[in-house]
Structure 1
Amino acid sequence: MAAGCIGAVCVARPRRTGGPAGKVPDRSQGALPRGRRTQQEDTSTHRGNSFLIFTGGASASRRGSHPAVYLLTIGLNHKTAPVEVREKLNIPRERVGEALARLRAEVAVREAALLSTCNRSEMHLVIDDWEDALRGATAFLERFHGCVRSEFEKYLYHHVDRSCVGHLFRVASGIDSMIVGESQILSQVKAAFDVARAEQSARLVLDELFRRALRVGKRSRTETDISAGALSVGSAAVELAKTIFGDLDGRAVMLLGAGEMGELTARHLLDNGVTRFLVANRSLDRATELARAFGGEPVRYDTYSEHLKDVDILISSTSAPHFVVTRDAVALALRKRRDAPLFFIDIAVPRDVEPAVNRLENAFVYDIDDIQAVVAGNRAERDSEVSRVETIVEREVNDFMRWFQGLAVRPVIASLTSRAQQIRDTEVEQALRRMPDLSQKQQEIIRALGKGIAQKILHAPIVHLRQSSESQDGYVEVETVRRLFNLEVTREEENAHRGG
């Protein structure tokens, strides 16, 4: 295993052996506490293959009384899983639509969105039963990615309702990122939302949730200094190269992969004195375009290994699903370099550089997890801004939860109003039949009187129902009204008010 020193910090690839622990939050929780929640507080846990099933609180009580929708997030990220696990669940951008279609066909979900980046893979779901959804979604991950559940399950975290909302808002704001305050995640959240809308899998609830998440992300960056001087993964990779070589003047670098991440890295390389710059990409036109923009040289993707002998640093960020840089290719390049050191910074997920390269003499490989050591100080400098962002997140979570909890009230209010109108119309028409001599104008006065009485009777209960939806135990009062007036809310009516 290769290791290197960054300042006074020695870096070795982290090897995590366990997943997070905690509990599944429920709908009865109050406001989020000030300050950052730990991963343990926000996640569920399981023993072996059996999930710890939540049986108390509002969620359990509501389950037996009437249909309810839940928000559920299932995922893993750089905090809970090493890169060798994250890459197993990574979904290439071009397959997200396919994954959404299969997920909705195979698992009982009302709405779904998938967020997959180099540092996280998450499902954001609207479901009827979170226990069934947990099992179904986990099984889907196993089938879709073709991997064994035991390889990833212990690294998963689960968020329900309020915790789900807070998590997505923190992700969008950049405070849950490996590099706190980085801006790329906001565009990635938007891209996930755009695909979900295009696939018609983000309707009422996820549409509202993601719109608000994007708003939180923008507010966090304009109302605080969370992004001021923030590193990106690409710039952090360059900083790592500088700690290895010192001054980059006169160094030759090859960029393998000319996507957004590669382009950002290229800009930082040029700003730090690189004199020779090679670009290899599957699309030679794209490689030529990027090389021309930065004064570099394009290289055919299938011949990149022939140029390894000519560079000091290779920064790799392709979207290939397999290893691109092999041990044999590097061994040959090292012999031609007369064993001069060759450094690889692999910021791709899945990884581009075969792990066996690490075992070669004078070959040093750093992956996306190693970059965490570079940005540790960056996080410490941003702690005060994180607290300010948390205040924004907390307020926005409260606002969303008021809206979300109100969804349970709307079909009940509609049913109550409809019942009152039916009784009013029936009684008024019966009375009018007993008074056949009334003029048309007099009949309209009677009908208006009935309508006015019904509205005044309903006003206080409806106001109370709307207010109760914002309280922790509001579902109890909603259920009481439902039983008192013998209201039956059909699934069709509920869907009409929830967009399901």
Structure 2
Amino acid sequence: MNIIIVGLNYRTAPLPIRERLAFLPSRIQEALAQLMERPAVRECLLLSTCNRVEVYAVTPQVEEGVEEVRRFLADYHGLEEGAIRPHLYAWCGVAAVRHLFRVASGLDSMVIGEPQILGQVKVAYSQACRAKTNALIVNRLLHRTFSVAKRVRSETAIAGKAVSIPFAAVEMVRRIFGTLAGKNVLLIGSGKIGELAAQHFLGHGVHSITVINRTLERARDMAEKFRGRAVSFERLSDQLVSADIVLSCTAAPHYIIRPQDVERILARRGGRPLFLVDVAVPRDIDPLVGSIPQVYLYDVDDLQGIISSNLVSRRKEAEKGELIIEEEVVRFQRWLGNLEVVPTILSLRRRVEEICGTERDKALAALEGAGERERAAVEVMASAIAGKLLHYPIAALKSSRQRRTGNYYVDALRHLFDLDPQTQSGAGEAAAEGDWKEDSQEGVE
């Protein structure tokens, strides 16, 4: 089986493309179920954030699996595959494992070391578990990923200086206004990004924070943390009239602020400009709003300049993180190799012992007058023959894990000894769970 990744991110696709391929949180499990219907997909996980959309899958054939996932992304969103293909990347094997480790550790983020991505990967895994699209390889890969991300953050200072997207959004606002003292802030959405932004806004001395959410109770919970007030979504227009700064980040499937809405609001603002920051993907605010006089609209891609200027101190720490990841990639690949080699060893041992046992029983049946001593000698001889027959092929299989000949030896032995594929699978799960003890320090973890 092979691990593949197909996706796009802020480097390969502009915001208009990313938002067209984004998956709504409420429909992730539906999407996973559809993806699992593809013949080449055996396990899968879907990560959709403001800066990336990635499908992680387990497939018997890399090329076929990659093509299936590309077609799925196009079909699901009703797009022509040719329109999105230039923006998509695909990784397989070692490169795929390395990519996921880098993503979860924050090394592949627009904001190097940002902590939100690890939580988003955990949510993606939880969704796969609920949709039952996870199995042996995805489970092991994701648990290893969480450990790697934790190690990178604990052994480096990659998260030492605040440069998250919420920080960048507030910093951009501060640079434009000069001071935020006395400003009224409206937060649309009560998720983690809004909560982090509220912390930064309070640190700059804003006058008030108002939280709007479709679920009023959630808005109240967040507002209480920041001495703010909660307002129902139906009162959005009224709040836009009084706000100086609006930051929006919801999971709405459509625009919640449109040009006609803003034009009506401006008429009630007495000539005061309206400052809007939209960090949602798909976007909450129609881009045409930005063309209206007295309206200043910024989206997540506009934050890159501020983010880049704050990353110098993290780059050296990121290099340390890359070394950790390379070490962990080798470790995971060793385990993955065992899924092929160890089950074959176990199956081969069973087959040889079965043959020797059958011949031993025939010999003992023919020795009608033999005593206990003679019978014991036959037992020992049969066991010794099995051990000597197994020694060289098992040694070759073990050493093949350190080279690139593992699959060749595995396939040859399976064919020559007619090893049952079903037995292979069962043995693989046993080995993965730690039942295979031999070579435990360097083999199966």
Q: Same fold (TM over 0.5)?
A: yes
Secondary structure of the corresponding residue to residue 5 of structure 2: strand
> Aligned to 1:370, what secondary structure does the other structure show?
helix
Name the aligned partner's letter for residue 174 of structure 2.
Answer: K
Deviation at 1:109, TM superposition (A): 1.3
Contact 1:90 1:121 in 2 (8 A): yes
CA distance 1:440–1:89, change in 2 (3 Å): farther
TM-score (norm 1): 0.82
CA distance in 1, matches of 2:126, 2:103: 17
Question: Are the aligned partners of 2:6 and 2:54 in contact in 1 as well (CA < 8 Å)?
Answer: yes
The Cα offsets for residues 84-134 of structure 1, whole Å up to 9 and x where unpaired, read as 111112122222222111211234311111111111111111101122222
1:138 aligns to 2:83 (yes or no): no
Distance in 1 separating the partners of 2:13 and 2:58: 25
3-state SS in 1 of match to 2:397: helix
- Mapped to 1, the partners of 2:51 and 2:65 lie a distance apart of 23
CA distance in 2 between counterparts of 1:273 and 1:459 reads 74
1:461 aligns with 2:393: yes
Instruction: Find the counterpart in structure 2 of residue 346 from structure 1.
Output: 278
Cα separation, 2, equivalents of 1:447 and 1:116: 60
Could you tell me whether the CA contact under 8 Å between 1:261 and 1:317 is conserved in 2?
yes
Output aligned runs, 1:241-390, within 5 Å.
241-390=173-322
Instruction: Identify which of structures 1 and 2 has the higher relative contact order when contacts are C-alpha pairs closer than 8 Å and 6+ apart.
Output: 1
Q: Provide the TM-score with structure 2 as the length reference.
A: 0.92
Q: Which residue of 2 aligns with 1:30?
A: none
Q: State the 1:211 CA deviation.
A: 0.8
Superposition pairs of residues 39-438 of structure 1, within 5 angstroms: 69-438=1-370
Q: Residue type matched to 2:259 in 1? A: R
CA contact (8 A) 1:254 1:315 kept: yes
SS in 2 for 1:336: coil
Moved more, 188-197 or 474-483: 474-483
What is the CA–CA distance in structure 1 between the aligned matches of 2:352 and 2:124, rounded to whole Å? 44
Aligned Cα root-mean-square deviation (Å): 1.8
1:65-100 Cα shifts (integer Å, max 9, x gaps): xxxx11110111111111111111212222222211
Q: Give 3-state SS (helix, strand or coil) of 2:47's partner.
A: strand
Q: Which amino acid aligns with 1:233?
A: I
* C-alpha deviation, 1:472, in angstroms: 2.1
Amino acid at match of 2:269: R
| Match of residue 441 from structure 2 | none
- Whole-Å separation in 2 of the counterparts to 1:321 and 1:380: 36
1:227 shift after superposition:
0.9
- Looking at structure 1, the residues matched to 221 and 360 of structure 2 have their Cα atoms a distance apart, in angstroms, of 77
Question: CA shift at 1:258, angstroms?
Answer: 1.1
| Aligned equivalents of 2:67, 2:146: Cα separation in 1 | 29
Answer whether contact 2:105 2:118 (CA < 8 A) is retained.
yes
Q: How far apart, CA to CA, are the structure 2 residues paired with 1:257 and 1:281?
A: 5
Which amino acid in the other structure matches residue 103 of structure 2?
A: V
1:477 to 402, 409, 414: 409
Of 86-95 and 443-452, deviating more is 443-452
Identity across the alignment (%): 38
Are the equivalent residues in 1 in contact too, given 2:8–2:87 (CA < 8 A)?
A: yes
What letter corresponds to residue 253 of structure 1 in structure 2?
Answer: V
- Structure 1 residue 441: Cα displacement: 5.5
The range that moved more, 190-199 or 353-362, is: 190-199
Q: Which moved more, 1:235-244 or 1:438-447?
A: 438-447
- Quick one: distance in 2 between partners of 1:318 and 1:468? 51
Q: Which amino acid aligns with 2:169?
A: A
Whole-angstrom CA distance in 2 between matches of 1:254 and 1:107: 47
- Distance between the aligned counterparts of 2:288 and 2:152, measured in 1? 42
Q: Secondary structure at the match of 1:302?
A: helix
Q: Does the CA-based 8 Å contact 2:158-2:314 persist in structure 1?
A: yes
Q: Distance in 2 between matches of 1:148 and 1:342?
A: 37
Aligned partner of 1:493 in structure 2 is 423
Secondary structure of 2:220 counterpart: helix
Instruction: Report if the CA contact (8 A) 1:406-1:466 is conserved.
Output: no
Q: Which moved more, 1:237-246 or 1:136-145?
A: 136-145
Q: For the residues of structure 2 that align with 1:348 and 1:150, how far apart are their CA atoms?
A: 26
Match of 1:152, SS?
Answer: helix
Q: Provide Cα deviations, 1:231-259, integer angstroms capped at 9, x if missing partner.
A: 22111111111111011001111101112
Separation in 1 of the partners of 2:47 and 2:107? 16
Q: Is residue 254–residue 311 contact of structure 1 (8 Å, CA) maintained in 2?
A: yes
More helix by share: 2
**Distance in 1, Cα, partners of 2:313 & 2:2:** 37
CA contact (8 A) 2:160 2:314 kept: no
Give the total of aligned pairs: 430
In structure 2, what is the Cα distance between the partners aligned to 1:375 and 1:125? Answer: 31
- Deviations, residues 328-373 of structure 1 (Å, cap 9, x unaligned): 1112222322332211110101100101011111211111111111
